[in-house]
Structure 1
Amino acid sequence: MTKTSTKTYLTSINLEKSCLVNVNVDEVVKNLQSDGLHLGINLPPYIVEEIVKFAKSNACYGNRKSEFGFYYDQKEKAQIKSGQQFTIADYFNTEIQCSAIKKLQSDPKLLAIAAKYLNTSPAHQGNRMWWSFPVNSSYLEQIKAAQCFHYDLDDYKFLKFFFYLTDVDNQSGPHICVRGSHKQKKSDHVWLRKRETDKDIIDYYGQESLINICGQAGFGFAEDPLCFHKGIPPTHKDRLILQIEFATTDYHMQHDIKPMSQLRLI
């Protein structure tokens, strides 16, 4: 899309209809361009309340497996019954089943930020909402749960918005982003793409580049996922987080849609 057509798309967006207050679109885009990160895209309490209510009244699925469905307050029973330890638990079909998430993925300010940053009419790639649990997890389990440093390649240019739905402190799995790493990577990080150790990341980018993101329920941020990032494994408290992704193209690979016939409760 040309700059002219991007500008035309942006003029069709009514920012006054956004539920997000105190969010300056140009400031967010500027910070994304320089740092790959912008903090403080916060949800109003009523949106948080509606999404959390949805999460507690609908099944999530242990370790993202469609056969391990359970309600959040029955996690311990579900683990015993399945013989599994759940590091994470995802929700499916959030766009279809939760009106607040459906509304949020079409929020005018999110669309405007995505359009300006991607320089095109943004394609909604999909949503993801999941719990992270404090467990004694193995390195392989941490890799599967995106709890080791990595960067994403969902498109040649894309953007993710994250929203904490529970209070997140250092004991409940804060997200870490390596500021500026979307623009600068050493050759090994490009050609030998793998999960990186904390030491390797700190040695190359410096401790000061690691942004440890804590916040109360409703706290949100935008991130270019070409930055190195990870979620720290929780140690004491469960964490619930929502991710909404936009890209230049929807490849139908990042959505959370599952046929109901495939989803089973334990």
Structure 2
Amino acid sequence: MVRYYQRRNYVQPIRIERQDIFQKFDVDPVVHSLNERGYANGWEIPEEYVSRIVQYTKDTKFLKYWNPHRECEAIDQIARNEKLVEIARQYLGAEPILWLSQLKWSFGDQASKEERQGLLSSNNEPEQHDGDAFHYDTLDFKSLTIFIYLTDVDASCGPHVLIENTHNAKSFRDICQIILSDTAARQRFGDRIKVILGKKGTMLFEETSTFHKASRCQTKRLMLSIDYVLQRSPPPEHPVLA
């Protein structure tokens, strides 16, 4: 299927940003880890970009944003960064499409009312399955998601959890049921379950068909996600969400 996209690739190359944001990592180790494990971590975005994105949320005051790269220059520069686009290109095996970006605040019971107050909301959010349960997504035949923590994330902040090496061939049971309970996950995969903790700026690359979930958030978390796909058309225009 990837060879088909390579031969019949009508996708215009992504407009890239050439700022050397990520001086401390190379493309090849990230692509290798994605192929072998379904994810790659250990990298960060610069503090300057964290601050600019957080300031964007303070200025606009929404709980959740649909395609914020269209409005926030810092997010657009990250999504179109030359190295990140090259990682997507090499991993997907063809010219990638910048399909979707999302920016979301999560609050738990320990978050103060002051932190929640003033954030705008709407009822336009598309229905999604429970992100707190293990699941996998099929955005395309092959796809890549980059997650970026914009607040410090410890065990109380709703860290991202994934199951290593579940991006390859799925069982018939997994194809029929994309939701996996915590009990079933522990029984089947044991120590392959990885909890991703990190300070603000932490970056995670993940094959989107890897089993993953968001832990229950007790305090607060701000996270950005950026999706790259092979052929699927970008979603239609959508208002800012909450």
Q: TM-score range by the shorter chain?
A: 0.7 to 0.9
Residue 195 (1) aligns with residue 179 (2): yes
What root-mean-square deviation, in Å, do the aligned CA atoms of Structure 1 and Structure 2 show?
2.5
C-alpha distance in structure 1 between counterparts of 2:220 and 2:68, whole Å: 20
Q: Give the structure 2 partner of residue 214 of structure 1.
A: 197
Which one has a larger percent helix, Structure 1 or Structure 2?
1
Between 214-223 and 50-59, report the one with greater CA deviation. Answer: 50-59
Residue 176 (1) aligns with residue 161 (2): yes
Q: Give the structure 1 partner of residue 29 of structure 2.
A: 27
C-alpha distance in structure 1 between counterparts of 2:234 and 2:166, whole Å: 26
Alignment of 1:33-48 (within 5 A): 33-48=35-50
Q: Secondary structure at the match of 2:44?
A: coil
Identity across aligned pairs (percent)?
28
Q: Give the structure 1 partner of residue 103 of structure 2.
A: 129
Q: Which residue, out of 118, 121, 134, partners 2:92?
A: 118
Residue 243 (1) aligns with residue 225 (2): yes
Distance 1:259 1:174, change over 3 A: closer
Alignment of 1:67-106 (within 5 A): 89-106=63-80
Aligned AA (1:134): G
Residue 185 (1) aligns with residue 170 (2): yes
C-alpha distance in structure 2 between counterparts of 1:145 and 1:165, whole Å: 22
C-alpha distance in structure 2 between counterparts of 1:91 and 1:259, whole Å: 8
C-alpha distance in structure 2 between counterparts of 1:250 and 1:104, whole Å: 21
Q: Give the structure 1 partner of residue 208 of structure 2.
A: 225
Large movers: runs of 4+ above 4 Å? none
Contact kept? 1:19, 1:43, Cα under 8 Å: yes
Q: Which residue, out of 135, 143, 155, partners 1:150?
A: 135
Displacement of 1:91 after TM fit? 1.6
Aligned AA (2:162): C
Unaligned 5+ runs, structure 1: 61-88, 137-142
Q: Give the structure 2 partner of residue 68 of structure 1.
A: none
C-alpha distance in structure 2 between counterparts of 1:92 and 1:37, whole Å: 24
Task: Render the CA deviation track for 1:159-196: whole Å, top value 9, x for unaligned.
Answer: 00010000000000000010000114332111x22321
Q: Secondary structure at the match of 1:17?
A: coil
Between 25-34 and 38-47, report the one with greater CA deviation. Answer: 38-47
Q: Secondary structure at the match of 2:70?
A: helix
Give the TM-score normalised by the residue count of structure 2.
0.82
C-alpha distance in structure 2 between counterparts of 1:248 and 1:93, whole Å: 18
Contact kept? 1:59, 1:91, Cα under 8 Å: no
Q: Give the structure 2 partner of residue 258 of structure 1.
A: 238
Q: Secondary structure at the match of 1:245?
A: strand
Contact kept? 1:133, 1:233, Cα under 8 Å: no
Q: Which residue, out of 145, 169, 180, partners 1:160?
A: 145
Contact kept? 2:146, 2:227, Cα under 8 Å: yes
Give the TM-score normalised by the residue count of structure 1.
0.75
Displacement of 1:2 after TM fit? 3.8
C-alpha distance in structure 1 between counterparts of 2:133 and 2:215, whole Å: 8
Aligned AA (2:199): Q
Task: Render the CA deviation track for 1:140-163: whole Å, top value 9, x for unaligned.
Answer: xxx745111000011010000010
Unaligned 5+ runs, structure 2: 111-127
Distance 1:111 1:228, change over 3 A: same
Q: Which residue, out of 26, 49, 52, partners 2:51?
A: 49
Task: Render the CA deviation track for 1:212-247: whole Å, top value 9, x for unaligned.
Answer: 000000000100011100000112x20000001101
